[in-house]
Amino acid sequence: MEMQSKVTTLENALSFINDGCVLMFGGFGGVGNPPTLIKGILQKGTKDLTLIGNDAGFPEIGIGKIVSAERVSKLITTHIGSNPIAGKLMVEGKMEVEFCPQGILAERIRAGGAGLGGVLSDIGMGSMIDAGKQKVEMGGKTYLIESALQADVAIVHAKKADYFGNLIYDKSARNTNPLVATAGRVTIVEAEEIVAPGMLDPESIITPGIYVDMIVESEGVDWKWAWE
């Protein structure tokens, strides 16, 4: 059976991201966030989102633009310090924030992508982190049960993609993107360059196309300033 190209229009990709959806995003401090998809979400007016990702970005960089526009009802993340608007919204009760240690957040996303129910951790035991969480005894030690994370839609940024969705990332922009790509019921990739099958070095492919549902071409990134 002939494989079909997964390249699509931005308009079609955005049709899967609607009010109230759970949206998982790749990136770290804005680097690796998919800017064209984020711009499209803002222009579409999508609101009441539950966001899952490493951080709240910066007010005018990456995912921070969506947070700053008050389109987010809940954010599951590791920190929000780089975006003071996120802190303001949290304090004012306009955005719920669930904090999670960075490594545990990555493991929860990985577990979601692997079809697991969650992971065990002793991080945060006896602190505000363990409030309301189930615990289990194993080997004479107590662990928290950290639930797996999945999303209605996962948005990912890649340096290169082929028509079938095989992905290559650019240095540190790789960060959480490979994990996020596995944990969406629908995974949408924004790629800086889209090439024909066979044009990518197989040894350089990080995310295989089986995880990717659609690909859109990037209009350019807004976070290069951080490294130049």
Name the 3-class secondary structure at 178. helix
Q: Which domain holds residue 88?
A: 10-115+149-220
Q: Which two tokens stand for residue 160?
A: 């290169």
Q: Which two tokens stand for residue 201?
A: 């070095």
The H or E element that residue 89 is part of is helix 84-91
- What's the pLDDT at 226? 47
Residue 141 domain-assigned? no
DSSP 96: E
pTM of the model: 0.93
- What's the pLDDT at 2? 60
Token pair 């979400």 in the structure block, residue: 41
The amino acid occupying position 200 is: L
> Distance between CA atoms of 171 and 144, rounded to whole angstroms?
33
Residue 105 domain-assigned? yes
The residues that bridge with 136 in the sheet, in sequence order, are: 143
Token pair 């797996």 in the structure block, residue: 148
Residue 1 domain-assigned? no
Q: Which of 211, 185, 148, 188 shows the shortest CA–CA distance to 22?
A: 185
- What's the pLDDT at 224? 61
- What's the pLDDT at 121? 93
Residue 136 domain-assigned? no
Residue 34 domain-assigned? yes
> Distance between CA atoms of 176 and 32, rounded to whole angstroms?
8
Q: Which of 115, 206, 108 shows the shortest CA–CA distance to 157?
A: 206
- What's the pLDDT at 220? 81
Q: What is the pLDDT along the chain (228 residues), one digit of tens a residue?
A: 467 899 999 999 999 999 999 999 999 999 999 999 999 999 999 999 999 999 999 999 999 999 999 999 999 999 999 999 999 999 999 999 999 999 999 999 999 999 999 999 998 888 877 888 899 999 999 999 999 999 999 999 999 999 999 999 999 999 999 999 999 999 999 999 999 999 999 999 999 999 999 999 999 877 565 444
Structural domain count, the chain: 1
- What's the pLDDT at 108? 98
Residue 208 domain-assigned? yes
- What's the pLDDT at 228? 41
- What's the pLDDT at 149? 98
The domain that holds 18 is classified in CATH as: 3.40.1080.10
> Distance between CA atoms of 228 and 85, rounded to whole angstroms?
25
- Nearby residues of 94 by Cβ (< 8 Å), 6 or more positions away: 70
Residue 209 domain-assigned? yes
- Nearby residues of 30 by Cβ (< 8 Å), 6 or more positions away: 57, 58, 61, 62, 63, 64, 222, 223, 226
**How many CA atoms are closer than 13 Å to the CA of 35, on its beta-carbon side?**
18
Residue 140 domain-assigned? no
The amino acid occupying position 62 is: G
Three-point CA angle 174, 58, 155, nearest 5°: 40
Cβ-count burial of 134 within 10 angstroms (0-12 exposed, 13-18 middle, 19+ buried)? exposed
